[in-house]
Amino acid sequence: MKNQVFISFCVLTLIFSSISIVSGRNIVCYFASWTVYRPGNGLFDVSNIEPDLCTHINFAFIGLHEDGTINIIDKWESDDDGKYHGFRNLLDLRNSHPSLKVLVSMGGWNEGTKNFSKVAADPVLRKTLANNVGAFVDKWGFDGFDIDWEYPGSREGSNVTIDKDNFVALLEDLAAVLHPKGKLLTAAVAGGVERIDLGFDVPRVNEILDMINVMVYDFHGHFEPFVGHLSPLHASSLDYENGRNATMTVATGIEYWIYKGASPEKINLGIATYGRSFTLKDPNNTQLYAPNVGGGRSGPYTRQEGFLGYNEICELHSDWTYHWDDEQKVPHRTSGDQWVGYEDPASLKYKVEFAVSKNLGGMMMWAFDTDDFGGHCGDTYPLLKTLKNHLA
């Protein structure tokens, strides 16, 4: 009887504890599948990846049906009709880089929360999803699974009262399938204090996950009526005059996860390789909190109002006036009525130093395709290489 109890304890320990990984030097890189359709210098596919720059690559995204089955969003890109071979090409990067881990990520902003909330609320559907994910990673040979539910308890379709607990239950079911196979289970999670409180039971999430990729960006954008940087490291003096905005920083987001019970060595600090742009109401007023009349003009590659890739900024807007905010430790550029806040090597150096000071597991980057991967402004991947060089 004692032996049976001991064996059962060992099995449960295997299922519900995380897989051992090397921390302190993680660089988790997201590959966004839709970038294979971009025009000109913006077109990005697996052949553009320099795999020695990352420790982990996450394929983004597969989706979720409300019955707990997997939704292949892009058949051409992800092998279902045998053309582009996206999964296969990404996984083949391990042939020359055997220490590289390649995961598949489910969710993203466009996937929303409705199906996640429904599946997570039903014990049968949770197990259906977990079993489908287990079979999927086995079929293709992925090293693990990343869940990017944006966000439990937030946005239309969520259930504020039960999503937090159901997210944990879903993670437990996924871990019960994946961890015995030696597969990683990771998640991309919110970096804002309010969304952390609404959606994440931090100690329980921390116990289950192998890595926690904290999205400490998109704090500000043209969804607000004023100008703000998407990922300030620290608050500006103006932020303290605007209530909760003083907490909408990289430092606060990371420190709050730790304060709530996350292990620093499991946390990867998320950075964005794009900027959030604005059209100013008054071109002569370019300071933080200046009124805007909407998003900035779209770029030729990303083709999205209020959004510019770093590659678009450095290649096409290097003549815009450069500003450095020494309180927030981030840059922005202006030209006439256009304003864009973004990351550059100088700001990323401060973020890496902060991550090291907090003994974090490493960094996470969204995404390959908006770094200067083609080297049109100098060396290839200036942002990603800044992360690697300063973590070394």
- How many Å apart are CA 283 and CA 264, to the nearest integer? 42
Beta pairing, strands 56-64 & 101-107: parallel
Which has the closest alpha carbon to 216: 351, 333, 386? Answer: 351
- How many CB atoms neighbour CB 121 within 10 A? 16
Comparing C-alpha atoms, which of 77, 82, 74 is closest to residue 46? 77
- Amino acid letter at 72? I
Place of tokens 């020359």: 96
In angstroms, the CA 83 to CA 36 distance is 13
Catalytic entry in 77, 111, 150, 207: 150
Strands 330-335 and 338-341, how do they pair?
antiparallel
Residues 6+ apart with CB under 8 A from 197: none
Q: Is 172 a catalytic residue?
A: no
List the catalytic residues.
150
